[in-house]
Amino acid sequence: MGPFDLLALEPPGWGGNLLRGLANSVQIAFGAFGLGLLIGTAGAYGKLYGGKITRDLLGLYTTIVRAVPELILILILYFAVTDLVNQMVLAMGGERIQISGVLAGIAVLGVVQGAYATEVLRGAILAVPPGQIEAARAMGMPPVKLAWRITLPAMLGFAIPGLANLWLIATKDTALLAVVGFNELTQETRQAAGATKAFFTFFLAAGAIYLVLTLVSSWGFARIEAWARRGEPRRSR
């Protein structure tokens, strides 16, 4: 079979498998990025305005997650979390369950993303000129509304470059989930390559798919950043 037959969407081609792997990867990356944003927003506000204990705990979280290699974190979190859930289920008289790979992947990568997002968003919030927040306070804006309507849009322009990086890292980190047997793009590629011995063709194809994903994402984030910075005079970039 030539490369094009190997990459055909219908079996015996493996293209369909690769695309399904891509869909799984994107799905997990999307979920993990979203979860990371939620954790990061809470984490950033906690670090900036929380009490001492909150700040210490968040400091511990961001330090550990950023210090330990992601592969090890994934293995620890995946097996520890699966084990913990199962022990709870067993203790309550239930039977061992298989945790969905997608949910576990999202949870594990989301926790990792959350640590980095905490720092990205904390920096972005600090970059908002304090006067803009003060003006809103002086006009009697309640705190949650102020965070949502003033701080969030004002910090977005500062946060987007860092968040775009996090998203790209998320898409590629899904490859690490191959170690726990999850069928994302890299895993599918390895299987196709192993079965056909056409290593070069499949890894080149996978690389091209990651590249396209990155290019599309970068274009999207550039659009969002331009919108977020709509109030700024154009600077030469």
Partner 1 sequence: MGTKPYSTPEAIRVDDLYKSFGTHDVLKGVSLTALEGDVVAIIGGSGSGKSTMLRCINFLETPTSGQITIAGEPVAMRPDGTPADRRQLERIRQSLGMVFQSFNLWTHKTVLENLIEVPVHVMKCPRDAAIARARKLLARVGLAEKEAVYPAFLSGGQQQRAAIARALCMEPKAMLFDEPTSALDPELVGEVLQVIRALADEGRTMILVTHEMKFAREVASHVIYLHNGLIEEQGPPEALFGAPKSDRLKQFLKSVS
Minimum distance of partner 1 from residue 125's CB (angstroms)? 14
Structure tokens at 17: 């498998």
In three-state secondary structure terms, 73 is: helix
Burial of 144 (0-12, 13-18, 19+ CB in 10 A): exposed
Determine contact, residues 124/22, Cβ cutoff 8 Å: no
37 vs 228 by CB, closer to partner 1: 228
Residue 74 touching partner 1 (CB under 8 A): no
Residue 96 touching partner 1 (CB under 8 A): no
x/- letters, 98..137, toward partner 1 (CB under 8 A): -------------------------------x-xx-xxxx
Virtual CA dihedral for 52, 55, 60, 61, nearest 10 degrees? 150
Determine contact, residues 201/99, Cβ cutoff 8 Å: no
56 vs 134 by CB, closer to partner 1: 134
Residue from 98, 139, 197, 236 in contact with partner 1 (CB under 8 A): 139
Residue from 2, 51, 140, 181 in contact with partner 1 (CB under 8 A): 140
Structure tokens at 225: 């950043």
Task: Give the residues lining the site for partner 1 (CB under 8 A).
Answer: 129, 131-132, 134-142, 145, 149-150, 153-154, 156-157, 228, 230-233
